[in-house]
Amino acid sequence: SSGINAEYGGGGIGRQKGTKRYGTNRGRWPTKSAKFLIKLLLSAVNNAKNQDIDLKELFVSHFVIQRAPIKRRRTYKAHGKVSRYDSHPCHAEVILSLKDEDVDEMAGIDTNSRTKASLLKHKVTRLMKQGNGLKEGASAYQVAA
């Protein structure tokens, strides 16, 4: 189990002796969150098995965790006081892809040319604003990077 470094933005995280190997003295071991992520990955693998996809051909092409809206509740305290009791959920997304599947090639973009893709997008939007119309397919627009 690997620890998570809390060097930046780690207010309220105390010092831990096991974080010395990461070059800091603050960090955590989020086992509860890791269980959810393992469950999500196992679900994605089982979906691939159900679709008869070879598991050796799969890899994680996209993995993101984003904030979700805070769920607010109340907790009742002594002497008639009420305090907030918030939970901070998140949205987790994982996408498995085949190794030989290349999205850039399918779109007609050279490999490792994200700058060309960005220039192509700007060129297409410029043509749309001019009202010249659009041609079929991404190969109709040649962009020199």
Phi and psi at residue 58, in whole multiples of 5°? -90, 150
SS3 47: helix
CA angle in degrees (0–180, nearest 5) for 65-71-43: 40
The C-alpha atoms of residue 71 and residue 115 are separated, in whole angstroms, by 40
pLDDT digits (tens, 9 = 90+) for 76-114: 999 999 999 999 898 998 888 887 655 556 566 555 566
| 0.85 surpassed by pTM | no
pLDDT digits (tens, 9 = 90+) for 14-37: 888 888 887 888 888 888 888 888
The C-alpha atoms of residue 138 and residue 123 are separated, in whole angstroms, by 11
Taken as a whole, the chain contains a residue count of 145
